[in-house]
Amino acid sequence: MAARTIGTTGLRSIVVLLAFGASLVVSTSDTDAAERTEASQRDTIVVHADQDAQTINRNIYGHFSEHLGRCIYEGFWVGPDSHIPNTRGIRNDVVAAMRKIKPPVLRWPGGCFADEYHWRDGIGPREHRPSMVNNNWGGVTENNHFGTHEFFDLCDQLGCEPYICGNVGSGTVQEMQQWIEYITQAGHSPMADLRRANGRQQPWKLTYFGVGNECWGCGGNMTPEYYADQYRRYSTFVRSSSPVFKIACGPCADDYHWTEVLMRQCGGNMDGLSLHYYCGTGNKSRSATRFDEDDWFHLLQRALRMEELVAKHASVMDKHDPQKRVALVVDEWGTWHDVEPGTNPGFLYQQNTLRDALVAAVSLNILNRHCDRVRMANIAQAVNVLQSMILTDKEKMIVTPTYHVFEMYAVHQDAALLPTDVNCADYRFGSEKIPGISVSASRDKAGKIHVTLCNLSTTRSTDATCQLRGIKPRRVSGRVLTSPQMTDHNTFSDPEKVKPASFDGSQVTGAGFRVSLPAKSVVVLEVE
């Protein structure tokens, strides 16, 4: 988790990016005329249902939870003595809600927090655990009541794989090696015996391990050359009787030099390379809930930049790893607005509107389409922080529009990617434009095809025809996520203002289907 990182340059040729902070003069008449002209041409989509060479790794739908604000404490963890229903201190309502979106993996304990976290402080009787100051996020005192045992318990309750980020910034090789031993050693050893003394007889399965976080920034302000040497050193001691998937700290946004150095110097020693990209917020307003179409357009424009970043980093990786053995792991991504008024600025608590749902949907469509190289992504963050799935207020809990996108898109997990071609009208705002529709498609193990579509325009509905190559459909059905106002969001007093509904705007044709997409909507269609 870095301080605010907003990329604003280098979009593909179809997107002309406005310089950050510049003024924009909008000609409403020109924009309306252009959209009327393009709207007269029906949008067309081709889904190549006769091609399915790649699999959309379920881990693209992963999550991130840091010791930041109220993500862990009050989010996942309330303690076993809380009046809020819990299982061994972990909130039952949050776990139940997360399970519905099928979380495949959870990254922990950070983020910037990881490089100040010393795992021994988070084991043993809670009343004896030392406290620490969370220097990165609000300067609050951390009591370490949620540690290694609690994290693996949370993963068990969620039914997901654990992804631990180790401390390279302020930790030692020995500390990291002993943590791995504590977690994974089945026989007798000093750390395994310590684990048993703390109540856990059998080792846990440690699936993914990150060797440092944002080592170019809060994780040590290192050069790529220096970190590459540190990665080779630290990762040597990430070893256990069962394989651990080792993830190296990768670049921030468009730092292609970092990727080049890491792949050249230690690509053969890693299983994954991380990428962090926060698309930020609007153009004029940084508020999560008070914005206009200018802000809507430019946030989606920045979200679409994920396409360029993934493609270019993948191209660098391809030079050193043409077999695509090393995964690109986008383990921090999402929006970053101002905090909600009256809340601690260091807690990064923000609301989540229909606009954030569209950002999530177009981002997931992009990551799906690059699943040959992208094999994990972790949106930031799960509860009460940044673009979260869930918000809590003491005993109350609500889910966000972004949560609904993850629930709708769960059909893509471990499904076969179906390549798509899209010819659509642009969404124009003033002199700028972005594609009006975002699409991805897959076939699940039962043979059903799912197509996820986003209409990015705030005002224009669109009719599209879809050709399904290689099959003749019998039936199409779906759901839609939209709302009357682009600023609509769920609150504790109105928790279901934005939620999915059944969708009747599609019809089977001889070659595929027709679909009428409402403005500012996310649609998932199931084709049989």
35 is an active site residue: no
Nearest CA to 418 out of 55, 153, 44 is that of 55
CB atoms within 10 A of CB 116: 22
Determine the Cα–Cα distance for residues 314 and 325; give it in Å rounded to an integer.
Answer: 12
Catalytic site residue from 116, 181, 214, 308? 214
Residue 419 · residue 48 · CB < 8 Å:
yes
Nearest CA to 418 out of 441, 439, 446, 447 is that of 441
Determine the Cα–Cα distance for residues 268 and 265; give it in Å rounded to an integer.
Answer: 8
The phi and psi torsions of 316 (rounded to 5 degrees) equal: -65, -45
The bridge status of strand 62-64 relative to strand 437-443 is unpaired
Residue 9 buriedness (CB in 10 A; 0-12 / 13-18 / 19+):
exposed
3-class SS of residue 114: helix
Determine the Cα–Cα distance for residues 356 and 368; give it in Å rounded to an integer.
Answer: 18
What tokens were used for 227?
């970190």
332 is an active site residue: yes
Catalytic site residue from 38, 332, 407, 432? 332
Nearest CA to 274 out of 366, 163, 377, 368 is that of 377
E strand or H helix that includes residue 466: strand 462-469
Determine the Cα–Cα distance for residues 434 and 431; give it in Å rounded to an integer.
Answer: 11
3-class SS of residue 388: coil
**What positions carry a catalytic annotation?**
214, 332
